[in-house]
Amino acid sequence: MALYTTIHLYNVPADRQQEYSQWFEIHHQQQLSSLRGFCNAERYEIADIQIMPDILQPWQFMTVYEFDTKTPEIDLPALGPLLANARDASLISTDTAERIYSYEMFGDWKVSPNWQQDKPLSGVSIILGNYVAGHYEAYQKWYEEIHSVEVINVPGHVGMKRGELSTTQVEPKHYCPGDQLVLCAQQTDDLLFTVKDFSARARGVSPSGIVMEPRSNTGSFARTVHYFNKISGEEFWPGGIAYAGDLSVYEQEQ
């Protein structure tokens, strides 16, 4: 078996966002539970705080799907028709921003002492990155042995897992600008502090006195970074009241 992560990046029309939440929490989760190899799905919204504020943030929402499968070519594409249901019901914006990328992960979460096992994540950040051609092994060594440890020990950062673009992708397929996925987990109620201290450690000016190693020249600058806050879960159900609407519009024909 091997771990795979599919990230769904998208926007939702402003007047359909509550409806999308209801679809995701009830109908979509029920359908996902029947997929072979499916482990988990969590939904996130773009954070106001970004470590690289000049980078465009074209997606308001991201869903992260986790699979553990030995046949990704069979199991991952089964997600496509489920997302098509939401697209056909106009729950996903037709602004051409939607992207679906699947990655074969190198391993599960690598966590730091910051991780509080009894508490949920507050959010995640993703890097769609690349290595410099001809320096794959050196890039992986730097990230695994040095940079990942530095990053997950920043206050508020608690874990990281990485992967590379899978040969199996979910329809509709688009060019992916990042061959390497870096998924970093947060547990913090002060993301601004986390981002500022991360930047300060990298520049050697953190009040903590901790200085990160210089960035490896094996890592390409062709990368984008996106911080998201977690939004899936019980917070979508005011007062704990379950949704009683008609979800049949999303049903697939049997």
pLDDT digits (tens, 9 = 90+) for 21-71: 999 999 999 999 999 999 999 999 999 999 998 999 999 999 999 999 999
pLDDT digits (tens, 9 = 90+) for 139-194: 999 999 999 999 999 999 999 999 999 999 999 999 999 999 999 999 999 999 99
pLDDT digits (tens, 9 = 90+) for 190-225: 999 999 999 999 999 999 999 999 999 999 999 999
Instruction: State the pLDDT at residue 1.
Output: 83
How far is the CA of 151 from the CAs of 52, 68, 124, 250, in angstroms? 15, 26, 13, 40
Instruction: State the pLDDT at residue 249.
Output: 46
Domains and CATH numbers, the chain: 2-233 (3.30.70.100)
Burial of 87 (0-12, 13-18, 19+ CB in 10 A): middle
Q: What is the rounded (10 degree) CA torsion for 60, 164, 219, 143? A: 100
Q: Please check whether residue 143 is in contact with residue 196, taking contact to mean a CB–CB distance below 8 angstroms.
A: no
Instruction: State the pLDDT at residue 233.
Output: 80
